């Protein structure tokens, strides 16, 4: 059945049920521009990604509070058919939860019962998985009037009828010849659907686009870095940016992708976006010298046209993959005795920034975690003061934070009573940056310019570093300091919710979902979800009762790469969990993974040189999905590959035998001999783990 026939069939059935007096589904309200502007007063729903346009993730509900939270229990749980990363923020409208899972699949659940209302699978092209650096995740939908909007991993923006789950329109937002993808949630701004994309590690030029919510027509598109000057520069902003680049940067795209942070201020009529790293990562590979505007920046754009308003660059001439794509939050604060409308970000680079939302004026930038790449920040300009040892040209350097950042995409929350921002922090994760002297655009699937197989003297220094420390930090943005912190047994923790009940809710990579007292961080309640948590919870009313819903599922970059020192993380099947006071539902997570060492399926028949070559190829092509060195993450562990898998190894890697399951082919980059080297490296890891000589 075609999608058009499916749509007609669904509408016909709905009409018959209504005419016949059987109301199985009431169409949701139509959150208009005015309703979205007034979302702060709507305590029954969670209408937008961050609940309100300011993205503060604060719920005014207080049935669940410091005194009652001990009675919080599970109301219902629904398993998702995936063991990949689950990162979405649910949107809740009139008792219906709209959310997403991996591969951009959209779900609608009855918030009271957990019954599935509909599922929409956009059938994203699985062959493009190798063009997505950090798992085939999706962070959620936007709801506007009677439609749900989702961006797909293969670059489409789709409008879906909220009542039926039937697509209304779809438009391609990318050039399919470019390694672009969408993992972030769309945002609504004055009837426009604003969406960015990812791909800066693969060689692209970043941009953000706005589409008419009714028709899907492109209204404006703004690039974040300049293209080839010989082809013309679109405006004065791009002309100024081009003056900060050197060499032929456009050959590698330039980077600066808007892969997550998008915020709209309806009063100022500005859209704010955070831009990603310059491409490739390392200065000397893209043309040494210059700030490389507007990569690693916060950009303010006029909402109706996309025209440049102002920018603030967090990391001029970035050399360490310090994107500025972490969540952006608007707030009204009193600073130096005067009220200021500000925009805030806890950046990857370990500085917490407060800027004037109207002008971009730098107000403050204070370290919230350990850093060795910078020694401080200029108090007048906000420009970082680079540490001398953090950049040595084409020589490897070791720094913290790592490319994952002291804070990444995980949403933070603001409590207007305490005045604190609650944010997940990964403190003290060190990383070796070895620029690849043989790098060239398109040389590898992961095209960031990092040299694979590095085994130089900095490895010993890396091994001497203590493991990273995961934390929940209550940050005072006016004073520029932490009021309190909670240390975790894992490095990674998920997004945050603050409530008027005096609580802060957050999940962790070990599957623990907890409620903390907002004033001092005391743990008041916890729940073992059985699977690692990355996504943030939301809160809303059903029949006048406060509920909390959370997506769980370990994956993303940390779940796939699975670096050492992360603590007792829990891969497993994704789920949707919903809680309320006096909830008494039970949950038995399906087991996932291995409890015994692998038994190598084939004997190891390769020289040390071949295994070394295999390791380099693996780290250049495979680690982003199958794990770095340990080869163990959220996907099936290759060390446990069966004899049948090894018999088909070449067909899988070169022939696309498992493309529809998300395993892309690599016959454009490597040959059969190189595939054998990768296979032998995998077998060597199985042998090392099992103790086989």
Known catalytic residues? 321
Q: Is 661 exposed, middle or buried (0-12, 13-18, 19+ CB in 10 A)?
A: exposed
3-state secondary structure of 653: helix
Residue 416 CB neighbours (<10 A): 14
Cis peptide before 401 (omega within 30 of 0): yes
Task: State the Cα angle at 689 between 684 and 693, rounded to 5°.
Answer: 60
Beta bridge partners of 171: 157
Which of these, 558, 528, 542, lies nearest to 404 by C-alpha position? Answer: 558
DSSP 474: E
Say whether 363 sits in a helix, a strand or coil. Answer: strand
Measured between alpha carbons, how far is 286 from 511 in angstroms, rounded to an integer?
41
Which of 335, 493, 304 has its CA nearest to residue 410?
Answer: 493
- The Cα 313–Cα 539 span in angstroms is 34
The pair of structure tokens assigned to 634 is 């959220």
Distances from the Cα of 18 to the Cα of 15, 21, 396, angstroms: 5, 5, 67
Helices (H), 574-647: 608-621, 623-626, 643-647
Which of 66, 72, 59 has its CA nearest to residue 581?
Answer: 72
| DSSP secondary structure letter of residue 174 | S
CA distance 685 to 630: 8
Rounded Cα distance, 652 and 665, in Å: 7
Q: How many CA atoms lie within 13 A of 522 on its CB side?
A: 9
The secondary element (H helix, E strand) that includes residue 344 is strand 338-346
| Closest listed residue to residue 565, CA positions, set 464, 422, 664, 446 | 464
Q: In what order do the strands lie in the sheet containing 262-265?
A: 262-265, 270-274, 297-302, 308-313
Does 294 sit behind a cis peptide bond, omega within 30 degrees of 0 on the bond before it? yes
Residue ranges of alpha helices (H) inside 430-574 are 458-463, 556-561
Q: How far apart are the first and last CA of the chain?
A: 55
DSSP secondary structure letters along 151-171? E-TTSEEEEEETTT--EEEEE
Could you tell me whether strands 493-499 and 58-59 are parallel, antiparallel, or unpaired per DSSP bridges?
A: parallel
Residue 71: name the closest of 417, 501, 471 by CA.
501
3-state secondary structure of 547: strand
Cis peptide before 203 (omega within 30 of 0): no
Alpha-helical segments (H) within 408-489: 458-463
Q: How far apart are CA 628 and CA 619, in angstroms?
A: 7
Helix axes 672-690, 608-621, angle to 10 degrees: 100
> Collapsing DSSP states into helix, strand and coil, what is residue 39?
helix
Which tokens is 669 given?
Answer: 């980059």
Sign of CA dihedral 50, 56, 61, 66: positive
């Amino acid at each position: 059945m075609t999608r058009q026939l499916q749509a007609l069939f669904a509408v016909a059935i709905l009409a018959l049920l209504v005419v016949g007096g059987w109301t199985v589904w009431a169409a949701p309200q139509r959150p208009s521009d005015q309703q979205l502007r007034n979302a702060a007063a709507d305590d029954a729903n969670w209408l937008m990604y961050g609940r309100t346009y300011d993205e503060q993730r604060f719920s005014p509900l207080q049935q669940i509070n410091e005194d009652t939270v001990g009675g919080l229990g599970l109301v219902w749980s629904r398993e998702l058919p995936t063991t990949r990363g689950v990162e979405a923020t649910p949107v809740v409208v009139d008792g219906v939860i709209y959310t997403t899972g991996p591969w951009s699949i959209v779900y609608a659940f009855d918030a009271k019962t957990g019954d599935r209302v509909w599922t929409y699978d956009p059938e994203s092209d699985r062959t493009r998985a190798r063009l997505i650096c950090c798992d085939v995740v999706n962070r959620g939908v936007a709801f506007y009037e009677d439609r749900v909007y989702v961006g797909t991993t293969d670059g489409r923006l789709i409008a879906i009828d909220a009542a039926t789950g039937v697509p209304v329109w779809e438009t391609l937002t990318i050039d399919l010849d470019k390694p672009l993808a969408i993992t972030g949630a769309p945002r609504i701004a004055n009837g426009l659907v604003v969406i960015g994309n990812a791909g800066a590690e693969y060689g692209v030029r970043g941009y953000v686009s706005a589409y008419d919510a009714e028709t899907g027509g492109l209204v404006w598109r703004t690039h974040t870095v300049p293209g080839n000057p010989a082809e013309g520069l679109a405006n004065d902003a791009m002309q100024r940016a081009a003056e900060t680049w050197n060499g032929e940067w456009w050959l590698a795209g330039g980077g600066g992708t808007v892969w997550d942070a998008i915020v709209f201020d309806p009063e100022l009529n500005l859209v704010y976006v955070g831009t990603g790293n310059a491409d490739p990562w390392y200065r000397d590979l893209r043309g040494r010298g210059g700030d490389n505007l507007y990569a690693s920046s916060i950009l303010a754009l006029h909402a109706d046209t996309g025209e440049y308003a102002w920018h603030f660059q967090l990391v001029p001439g970035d050399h360490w993959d310090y994107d500025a794509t972490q969540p952006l939050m608007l707030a009204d604060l009193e600073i130096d005795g005067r009220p200021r409308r500000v925009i805030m970000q806890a950046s990857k680079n370990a500085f917490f920034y407060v800027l004037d939302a109207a002008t971009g004026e730098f107000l403050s930038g204070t370290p919230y975690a350990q850093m060795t790449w910078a020694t401080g920040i200029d108090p007048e300009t906000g420009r970082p003061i680079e540490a001398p040892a953090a950049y040595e040209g084409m020589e490897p350097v070791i720094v913290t934070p790592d490319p994952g950042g002291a804070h990444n995409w995980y949403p933070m929350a603001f409590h207007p009573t305490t005045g604190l921002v609650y944010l997940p922090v990964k403190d003290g994760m060190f990383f070796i940056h070895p620029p690849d002297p043989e790098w060239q655009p398109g040389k590898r699937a992961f095209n960031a310019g990092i040299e694979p197989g590095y085994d130089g003297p900095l490895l010993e220094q890396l091994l001497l570093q203590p493991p990273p420390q995961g934390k929940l930090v209550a940050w005072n943005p006016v004073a520029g300091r932490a009021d309190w912190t909670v240390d975790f047994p894992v490095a990674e923790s998920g997004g945050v919710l603050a409530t008027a009940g005096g609580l802060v809710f957050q999940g962790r990579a070990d599957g623990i979902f907890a409620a903390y007292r907002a004033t001092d961080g005391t743990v008041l309640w916890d729940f073992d979800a059985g699977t690692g948590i990355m996504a943030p919870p939301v809160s809303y009313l059903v029949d006048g009762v406060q509920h909390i819903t959370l997506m769980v599922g370990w994956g993303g970059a940390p779940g796939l790469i699975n670096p050492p020192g992360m603590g007792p993380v829990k891969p497993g099947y994704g789920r949707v969990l919903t809680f309320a006071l006096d909830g008494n539902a039970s949950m038995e997570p399906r087991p996932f993974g291995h409890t015994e060492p692998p038994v190598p399926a084939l004997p190891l028949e390769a020289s040390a040189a071949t295994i070394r070559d295999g390791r380099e190829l693996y780290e250049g092509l495979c680690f982003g999905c199958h794990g770095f060195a340990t080869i163990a993450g959220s996907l099936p562990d290759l060390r446990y590959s069966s004899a049948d898998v090894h018999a088909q190894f070449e067909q899988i890697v070169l022939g696309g035998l498992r493309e529809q399951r998300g395993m892309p082919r690599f016959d454009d980059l490597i040959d059969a001999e190189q595939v054998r080297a990768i296979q032998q490296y995998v077998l060597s890891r199985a042998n090392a783990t099992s103790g086989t000589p």
